[in-house]
């Protein structure tokens, strides 16, 4: 394999980050794998740009930012969308970056299963289909004999899935505890440092673009619960779905509660716990100066193993290029495995 033709489905912040990252790292990918990566299609929610000869990644991003739709891409823009894009062009790997949907997992579920049916590898940043139908999706990949990788679905740039499966593969994973949502960590960190009320910091976070206009998935713990399910299935072999996680968010945390914790040298963090006995996301007290004492939008996780003891990782849990970095790492692994 000397060329890998990719489709980027979903062209919001993450999809654009992937396009930018491919543009920046084409030479590096070729050096590491001997394979040239070519984007042959990119699609947003209703339009796309498709060319078997390849598209200009920077022009894709500029077109989306300036025109708001990929159909405005010169010469190759069109109104083809959804699974139809996968039929419109020859490709080797689907890079799936559509928004997470925890109601019915669409469009990620249909796109991913269609790619498997076509015998194509898939890299995803999506949590919806993994949180709702992990076994079904992973099983479909195995049945099709294709590679499916999803490092970016948990913790953005923070390496957790690949680290655990590959770097410490000699170890049995006993449990994982961590901060798996950057938005809530930012809000709680600011409340701690400034003594401000939750509502004030949330509004500021929204103005800065750290929190979504509708912050429910983050602040009510839903996002972290999805990631908990993915880690439970992929790293501990627990057959779980989103409904198996006990979830409580941070919207009830008061500045008074944070001040009381500080007096005893504690912090309040939204902690996800993954173990055979407990799948839970909830605000907890953690000791100041411990490995859980990370600020801003950082994520962290402590993996408890039988041989290596506890291993902690920290990394940026969100961001366009940061998440794209994990997706490109997955793509490189797929290409290496094919050679």
Q: Assess whether 227 carries a catalytic annotation.
A: yes
**Torsion-angle region of residue 221: left (phi > 0), alpha (psi -120 to 50) or beta?**
left
Cis preceding-peptide flag for 292 (omega within 30 of 0):
no
Which residue is it, tokens 């790292």? 25
> Within 10 Å of residue 182's Cβ, how many Cβ atoms?
26
DSSP state of 163: I
Distance (Å, whole) CA 160 – CA 235: 9
**Which residue of the set 227, 262, 269, 338 is catalytic?**
227
Contact 102, 127 (CB under 8 A): yes
Of 37, 59, 60, residue with least CA distance to 47: 60
Contact 171, 268 (CB under 8 A): no
- Give the catalytic positions in this structure: 227
């Amino acid at each position: 394999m000397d060329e890998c033709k990719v489709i980027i489905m979903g062209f919001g912040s993450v999809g654009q980050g992937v396009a930018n990252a491919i543009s920046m790292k084409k030479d590096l990918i070729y050096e590491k794998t001997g394979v040239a990566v070519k984007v042959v299609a990119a699609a947003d929610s209703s339009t796309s740009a498709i060319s078997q000869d390849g598209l200009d990644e920077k022009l894709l991003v500029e077109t989306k930012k300036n025109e708001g739709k990929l159909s405005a891409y010169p010469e190759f823009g069109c109104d083809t969308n959804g699974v139809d894009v996968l039929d419109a062009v020859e490709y080797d790997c689907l890079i799936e970056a559509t928004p997470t949907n925890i109601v019915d997992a669409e469009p990620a579920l249909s796109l991913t299963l269609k790619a498997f049916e076509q015998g194509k590898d898939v890299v995803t940043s999506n949590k919806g289909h993994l949180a709702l139908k992990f076994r079904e999706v992973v099983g479909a990949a195995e049945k099709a004999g294709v590679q499916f990788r999803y490092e970016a679905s948990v913790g953005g740039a923070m390496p957790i899935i690949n680290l655990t499966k590959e770097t410490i593969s000699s170890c049995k994973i006993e449990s994982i505890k961590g901060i798996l949502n950057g938005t809530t960590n930012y809000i709680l960190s600011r409340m701690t440092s400034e003594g401000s009320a939750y509502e004030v910091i949330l509004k500021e976070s929204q103005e800065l673009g750290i929190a979504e206009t509708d912050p429910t998935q983050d602040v009510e713990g839903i996002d972290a619960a999805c990631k908990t399910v993915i880690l439970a299935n992929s790293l501990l072999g627990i057959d779980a779905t989103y409904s198996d996680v006990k979830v409580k968010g941070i919207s009830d945390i008061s500045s008074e509660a944070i001040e009381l914790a500080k007096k005893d040298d504690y912090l309040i963090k939204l902690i996800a716990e993954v173990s055979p006995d407990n799948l839970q996301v909830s605000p907890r007290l953690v000791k100041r100066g411990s490995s859980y004492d990370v600020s801003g939008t950082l994520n962290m996780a402590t993996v408890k193993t039988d041989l290596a003891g506890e291993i902690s990782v920290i990394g940026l849990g969100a961001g366009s290029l940061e998440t794209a970095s994990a997706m490109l790492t997955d793509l490189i692994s797929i290409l290496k495995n094919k050679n």
